[in-house]
Amino acid sequence: MTSTVISRRIEELEKLAPPLTAKPDLDKYWEQSLKQFANKPLNATKILVDTPFPHMEAYKVIFEGFDDTPIHGWYLLPRNRPDDKLPCVVIYHGYTGSKGLPEDYASYILMGIAVFAIDIRGQAGETGNLMPQDYGMTRGWITQGILYRDSCYYRAITIDALKALDWASEQPEIDASRICASGGSQGGGLAMIAAALSDKPAIAVAHIPNMCQMDFGVLNSSSSLVEAAAFIERFPHHLETVLDTLSYYDNLNLAHRIRIPILVTVGLKDPVTMPETIYAAYNRIQSEKTILPFPFSGHVVTGEQNRKGLEFISKHFRLG
């Protein structure tokens, strides 16, 4: 194929291998953290709710993850389902969003896939945030506790995401060997970190994932990481501490732990989750992996990207 600006750009991205920002105790830190939360009870409730959709069975779920904050989610099942257990997609939404409404996930129900879609704490859903705050924040959520790796916002939402996978795997309707972690932007970053840290998902779909090469993002991105940049601007003496905290939740540093098939999508014109950051993390994944670049897409998950994600899930879960 004749070399073009687009093909050269992709070739450059495929060669990216920036230095890691991981601290020497990264793996030990996560081994201890996962052990710490392994037996924390979910204290979950599940309530059947009415919807106008005759082919969907919908439940409101509340569970606990990092702390005793009630995390709200939708658990959705095809009403006319086979006797066999179902595959399940656990879905994390983008920054400032929410779990939405049951109908937002109709495509999965049509495929015969169960859905567990959760709120990310404190954002625009029904879920609050009971984490204590003992230092100033800039606008948004991500600078809460950003000086402390053990009590920062990223730790809380990561543990929440992992515990959502635990809850889904325990449901009697679910085939625990066919769980997918999925999301876009913030949710794509959580899907990636879940793939790195949890043994529950069999596959992952990470659309335009955030939480990749976050030091680069703090300096260059127009995403949620501008909140961290604003924090550092206000408290410049905390620069190294903030970057150290972020390093423990950066998929660049954790990608080597991913051992499952993963699909990643990326927009080459994305100023939010920039392609440099996504490829930097993706290039370190050692498992079966696929990345789909969309040369003219910005920070959006298009219909085509969603279709590719559904096809990936269908293939690996042997549907149809």
72 is annotated as an active-site residue = no
| Helix/strand/coil for 283 | coil
Annotated catalytic residue: which of 185, 198, 221, 223? 185
299 is annotated as an active-site residue = yes
Least Cα distance to 76 among 42, 41, 111 occurs for: 111
Least Cα distance to 62 among 32, 85, 41 occurs for: 41
For residue 172, with 0-12 CB atoms within 10 Å meaning exposed, 13-18 middle and 19 or more buried, which class applies? exposed
**CA distance readout (Å), 145 to 73, 135, 153, 245:** 25, 7, 6, 9
Angle at 314 between CA 313 and CA 320, to 5 degrees: 165
Annotated catalytic residue: which of 72, 93, 299, 316? 299
Annotated catalytic residue: which of 169, 270, 297, 316? 270
185 is annotated as an active-site residue = yes
The pair of structure tokens assigned to 26 is: 């990264």
**Can you tell me the distance from the alpha carbon of 131 to that of 27, in angstroms, rounded to the nearest whole number?**
25
Least Cα distance to 294 among 315, 314, 268 occurs for: 268
**Can you tell me the distance from the alpha carbon of 227 to that of 62, in angstroms, rounded to the nearest whole number?**
29
Least Cα distance to 201 among 165, 250, 163 occurs for: 165
Residues carrying an active site annotation: 185, 270, 299
